[in-house]
Amino acid sequence: MSGPASVRVSGPPNSSFLVGYPGISATLVRQFQLQLVFAYALILTSPVQPRIEGKVEIRPGQGFSMPVPVSLVRICLQRRETIHPDADSIAKRHLGAPRRETTDLVGKEQLLFRCSSGKEAERIIAMDLPFVLFIPFGRGGEESNRRIPPASLQLPSRTAETYYELVVTVQQGHSNQYKYTFPIPLQRYDTLSTFGMYNKPESKLVTNDNIVHLGINLPRWSYGPSDPITVYIKLSPNLDWLSKAKRVTIEKITLTVEEEITFNPEGDEPTKKINRISKQVQPVKTKMPEAGYATNVGLTFPSKDLRDPEGVVRRGKPQFPLYEVTSFTTTSTLYKIEFYLVIKVNLSGARDVMIRQPIVICPLDQQACKEEMDAIEQAAKDASHVDPNNPMLPAPTVILANDRDSLRALGLWMAFKNLFAMRHAHPKMAGRRCANEPQLKPRREYISHARSSVTAQR
């Protein structure tokens, strides 16, 4: 009975498994291409469908040359999500609800190899099976495997995490089935701050007691690590209550970035946790002017240093990319992360006014988003030549045990088979003996020994 085979998944040379930009659909491509000076009709008419390219390498698991029986080989992309809202509290970690986990299939499962009909399995020496797994780039309604997959993310204390795995299933005979998992980091690029839809100004006007009105104007609403967030704020009195408004004193203006995590958003009992990411307080201490009060308040979105004190980039986990932010805007099955910009004005003589404006947080800063635009444009041109129905993969390589010179695929060679041919063909090998070769006597000694044996028998 043969043991499990040795399975490895390798990507394209000098690149990662992921080709393309998840989250970028044909609609988004049109938006940013029309914004750029150089527009290509080919890109505008073809969607950018991201994909995972590579090949599955199967080799003998025991020894170097023992063939392995292979009946079936399949591969798929799998998303795993876990949440534990009380993981950041030592007291509630053991007393609260246990960790919840879910597993979903992304896209479709692909069949890479099936043995000939009538055979239980093929005896394999080596096998290389190229594959392409297309990642969904459009929303598929209720079908979760057709939705745009969320980005890989792990929150502190593992309160929530999403990661992806390539799962290779190898069927060896009727009863033996083995599964091999390989982590794949996945990012999304639909929240880049350079997209035109995020650069449209947002305005809002609110009031509490109809004495003072608070109006804001946000030039853009997508930000990344170390990006400045600036808000134009205007406080105006109600002209119908001008006598009361003049007695109002503006104490201070507070600008806060809040992170709101919703656990189990699609369930019966969703829970929310709000964390303050950054805060900026601007004291004013002035009476409300008749013409109103206007100012700009800003702060810098915090970033996470990826380097250690010696300046070396820390090694991350293989299933999670290295982000300069702790979290970002994302929506998954078990959790949802949203960000809000809270503008609060403390008043004396009137009620405080506050606006909670939703914003988008991107894992890339403004400069990195600009650099990605050219790469996305090139990826769109490359993707136009790939047909999802016929991706034109390289031919698979299957070396059977009964193939001629099958061991060459493993870098092996039958040395003793051609030992005497080598010794006679190469002059330097003449007179040399292999360590495992028995020492032969000259032919005359064999003849004399045979004659003496015959004489003794007579």
| CB-CB neighbours of 23 under 10 Å | 21
Model pLDDT for residues 75-98, shown as the tens digit of each residue = 999 999 999 887 766 656 555 667
CB atoms within 10 A of CB 306: 12
What is the pLDDT at residue 413? 64
Query: Residue 381 in contact with residue 361, Cβ under 8 Å?
Result: no
pLDDT at 51: 87
Which domains, from first to last, does the chain contain?
6-189+372-400 (2.60.40.640), 196-363 (2.60.40.640), 416-451 (no CATH)
**Could you tell me the two tokens for 366?**
């403004």
CB-based contacts of 457, cutoff 8 Å, min separation 6: none
Across all residues in the chain, what is the average pLDDT? 81
- Rounded to an integer, what distance in angstroms lies between the CA atom of residue 120 and that of residue 114? 10
* Stronger pLDDT, 320 or 48, i.e. the higher one: 320
Task: Give 256's strand partners.
Answer: 279, 342
User: Rounded to two decimals, what is the model's pTM?
Assistant: 0.79
C-alpha to C-alpha distance for 69 and 5, rounded to whole angstroms: 9
Ranking 122-136, 339-353, 385-399 by mean pLDDT, the lowest is 385-399
Q: Left (φ > 0), alpha (ψ -120 to 50) or beta: where does 235 sit?
A: beta
* Beta strand pairing call for 122-134 and 160-172: unpaired
pLDDT score, position 93:
58
Highest mean pLDDT among 21-30, 348-357, 375-384: 348-357
Pick the closest to residue 28 from 150, 197, 146 (CA basis). 197
Smallest CA-to-CA distance from 217 within 236, 228, 237, 233 is with 233
Question: Does residue 83 sit in helix, strand or coil?
Answer: strand
Q: How do residues 223-264 score in pLDDT, each as one tens digit?
A: 999 999 999 999 999 888 888 888 899 999 999 999 999 998
* 269: its two tokens: 């009992």
Query: Rounded distance, CA 420 to CA 440, Å?
Result: 12
Using the predicted structure, report yes or no on whether residue 133 has a pLDDT greater than 60: yes
Say if CB 430 and CB 424 are below 8 A apart.
yes
